[in-house]
Chain A
């Protein structure tokens, strides 16, 4: 399965990408929302987007709004991964069509837990 990691920070893209690769994803990257839209278009088989909020050119929020206008991308799971942590921001993002929301900082388990709940990754039980 393919995931698109969208963040203006290379450090963050690498951290998220490593976590996703560990649970079986193939990952591609984008440094802002506009590049991400191009990536979605050209790859066509992306099933998950991990999206930062604050980015130049096009923010993650704008990317979510834009993506949800496209019926062909209805089944792409949209997970925000951002420092924006106010209740209002989370509500706004979910209302705009994001499926999940991770507040930075996070551990790998945080992301994997959410992917399990979404059914994108098999549940591995804890001991």
Chain B
């Protein structure tokens, strides 16, 4: 399956890195420098969680954020400005991580020509079935040492 033409600009990792760095520096860390490309092999995620938005169009494209539960909790705490000691509820977790997927997905969508509508974010514990999907891009970042992944998938219609 060939990469849909409108999504080609995205297969360079740099735009996604910039999107992620802009988001983290403005809204999560309050300053730049804490999110960087992951060096080396794709890292394993401990107790992985998945959050995605889909972009409709001739081919539906999924923008998916992947992170370990603990990392997701740290992200939630950062966004909600909670203390390290405060427990993170499932609802808060889904809200925060879903919003990160929403912002990354929305910005990715803005890079391509003639994109469709953006769905509302979905956050799950189980990895969604991507067996019939074609991976356009899978890239990992480090955030204060913890791994985070962003994947772009073209879903079979």
Contacts and interface: CB of A to CB of B under 8 A. Distances in A.
Interface in B101-157: 102-103, 105-107, 109-110, 115, 117-120
Contact of A85 (B27, B76, B107, B120): B107
Interface string B1-39: 000000000000000000000110011000000000000
B95 A11 contact: yes
A74 interface: no
A85 B95 contact: no
Interface residues of A, number: 20
A105 B120 contact: no
Interface string B65-105: 00000000000100110000000000010011011001101
A8, A84, A104 pick with most chain B CB within 10 angstroms: A104
Contacts of A55: 120
Contact of A84 (B96, B99, B106): B106
Nearest to A54: B118
A11 B26 contact: no
Interface string A90-103: 00000000000001
Nearest to B20: A105
B20 to A, nearest CB: 10
A82 interface: yes
Contacts of B76: 11
Contacts of B107: 83, 85, 104
A12 B121 CA distance: 14
Given A83-B118, A105-B27, A11 B22 contact: no
- What is the interface residue range for chain B against chain A? 20 to 34
A103 B27 CA distance: 13
Contacts of B98: 9
B26 A107 contact: yes
B103 A54 contact: no
Contact of A9 (B95, B105, B119): B95
27 contacts: A8-B120, A9-B98, A9-B99, A9-B102, A10-B92, A11-B79, A11-B80, A11-B95, A11-B96, A12-B99, A15-B27, A54-B117, A54-B118, A54-B119, A56-B120, A83-B105, A83-B107, A84-B106, A84-B110, A85-B109, A86-B115, A103-B110, A105-B22, A105-B103, A106-B27, A107-B26, A107-B27
Given A11-B92, A54-B118, A84-B106, 12 more contacts: A10-B95, A11-B76, A11-B79, A15-B27, A15-B79, A83-B103, A83-B105, A84-B109, A85-B106, A104-B27, A105-B22, A106-B27
